[in-house]
Structure 1
Amino acid sequence: MNAQSRTTGRTPRLSRRRIVALAHEIIAAEGVEALSMRRLAREVGTTPMALYHHVRDKDELLSLVMEAVAESLPRPPLPEDPRERLIAVCVLMRNAFLEHTWVVPILARGHLVGPSAVWMTEEILSCLVATGLTVEEAFGAHQTIWNFTAGEVLVTARARVEPETASTAHFVETQVARQGAGTLPVLGALAGRSRELEARYSYRVGLEQILDGVLPRP
């Protein structure tokens, strides 16, 4: 069912808000690649040129969709301790990305990030500085956290679609079966426990390991 067929009665007046909402529906259902100004115009029941009276181009439209998502995210009270505060923000960010996995590749482009999402970056950097890092060190640590978070989200999202073949345990077991534990002794030692170990792992566990490595020691 397309977006237009979900409406009944007289077609709603074209507005930026409606354009953004329909663009979000398309992206959430089919991915960013499915969104084009021509496709959106067809859903709205107008011409592509009519859309340009409301949005400059597809990049601006993506930015507006991202901003709408960011505005809808909860902003709960955060712990005072810098490390715990940092973890809380990162977990919040990761969970938001996991709910809207299409956001990650758009965020990687940087310039499409709207003001309502920037507070997380500022909060993470502030927490890193509060632990004793310089601004320069905090920048590098933030990059490490971002890369880990984005990658973990993509892997977790894939595992939800293909829970068997996308798992690390499946990789370990498959490779050991193919090449033998004699060729891969460490993987061989893990093969019998890989599913148990994978079940124990969590985003927070990985984040804590990263923070143990990048934050100043007491």
Structure 2
Amino acid sequence: MSERGSIDRDRIVAAARAILETRGIDSLSMRALAVALDSKPMTIYHYVSGKPELLTLVLTQVAEEIDWTPPTGAPRHRMVEVVMDMFARLSDIPWIVPILSQGIAVGTPALILADRFLSAALEDGCDEQTALSLWRSASWIAQTELIFRASVARRASDETSWHQRLNADDLDDMPVVQSLLPRWGQHSADYDLRAAITWLIDGAPRANSPTTPSAD
């Protein structure tokens, strides 16, 4: 086994990233990392406190390499563009999405996306709670779509979708689903992420929005 002095944080992060890129988050552990570095788990703990910190270091490194596109235009347009830019960039590095979905690590440079989105939301009249709720919802929709598309890409060529395996005769107590079933696949294929994010953002309350008259 190598001595502690032969490794450093940079080598640890590089080895962790290699594991994540090739084998995924479930394969990353201090023991697996020690094997990759020909070291011992306790040696690695001298440089990082645990898996959450390690994931943050990897995500920070990756985020620093991304040239995020600064959004322009009206506030609501900028909010949509921030989410779509995130979606486009993460589409090229799909191994990151399962890490983000766990909610235990985020690369600090990537917070520029949150900052730009929240700034536009506040400028558009959202309060802090609404702005943060919008960012959380919009970013999760985008990440979920990435996970879905990745699962479809991994699907065997002869594997059918769930809606293709259903028998419409078994859905008599679900008339709307029953009627949509023959067109479900096409509607799914036509899903428009940009439109969905736009609807979400446009529907959020603003300080200058007209209030609903009281029933009294």
TM-score, normalising length: structure 1: 0.79
Look up the match of 1:211: 201
Q: Quick one: structure 1 residues 139 and 99, their matched pair in 2 at CA, closer, same or farther if it must change by over 3 Å? A: same
CA distance in 2, matches of 1:48, 1:117: 29
Q: Quick one: structure 1 residues 163 and 143, their matched pair in 2 at CA, closer, same or farther if it must change by over 3 Å? A: farther
Alignment of 1:134-145 (within 5 A): 134-145=127-138
Q: CA RMSD in A?
A: 2.7
Provide the secondary structure at the position in 2 that maps to 1:214.
coil
Look up the match of 2:165: 174
- 1:186 matched to 2:176? The reply is yes
* Pairwise CA distance, 1:163: 6.9
> CA deviation digits over 1:89-134, x for unaligned, max 9?
1012223333334434433554532321111111111111122211
Q: Quick one: structure 1 residues 139 and 161, their matched pair in 2 at CA, closer, same or farther if it must change by over 3 Å? A: same
Look up the match of 1:148: 141
Alignment of 1:15-26 (within 5 A): 15-26=8-19
Contact 1:176/1:184, CA 8 A, preserved across alignment: no
Look up the match of 1:83: 76
CA distance in 1, matches of 2:120, 2:158: 37
CA distance in 1, matches of 2:109, 2:179: 47
- 1:40 matched to 2:36? The reply is no
CA distance in 2, matches of 1:53, 1:45: 15
- 1:72 matched to 2:62? The reply is no
> CA deviation digits over 1:22-48, x for unaligned, max 9?
111101111111111111111112222
Q: Which runs of 5+ in 1 are unaligned?
A: 1-12
Q: Quick one: structure 1 residues 165 and 117, their matched pair in 2 at CA, closer, same or farther if it must change by over 3 Å? A: farther
Provide the secondary structure at the position in 2 that maps to 1:193.
helix
Residue 201 of structure 1: which of 191, 195, 203 is its match? 191
> CA deviation digits over 1:26-81, x for unaligned, max 9?
01111111111111111112222332333232222111111111111122232122
Look up the match of 1:27: 20
- 1:96 matched to 2:89? The reply is yes
* Pairwise CA distance, 1:165: 8.8
Letter in 2 for 1:18: R
Q: Quick one: structure 1 residues 19 and 157, their matched pair in 2 at CA, closer, same or farther if it must change by over 3 Å? A: same
TM-score, normalising length: structure 2: 0.80
Letter in 1 for 2:49: R
CA distance in 2, matches of 1:152, 1:94: 9
CA distance in 2, matches of 1:166, 1:145: 30
Look up the match of 1:7: none
* Pairwise CA distance, 1:19: 1.5
Provide the secondary structure at the position in 1 that maps to 2:13.
helix
Contact 2:118/2:135, CA 8 A, preserved across alignment: yes
Q: Quick one: structure 1 residues 108 and 191, their matched pair in 2 at CA, closer, same or farther if it must change by over 3 Å? A: closer
* Pairwise CA distance, 1:140: 2.1
CA distance in 1, matches of 2:124, 2:166: 41
Provide the secondary structure at the position in 2 that maps to 1:133.
coil
Look up the match of 1:4: none
CA distance in 2, matches of 1:116, 1:88: 18
Residue 160 of structure 1: which of 144, 153, 156 is its match? 153
CA distance in 2, matches of 1:130, 1:163: 46
CA distance in 1, matches of 2:36, 2:127: 50
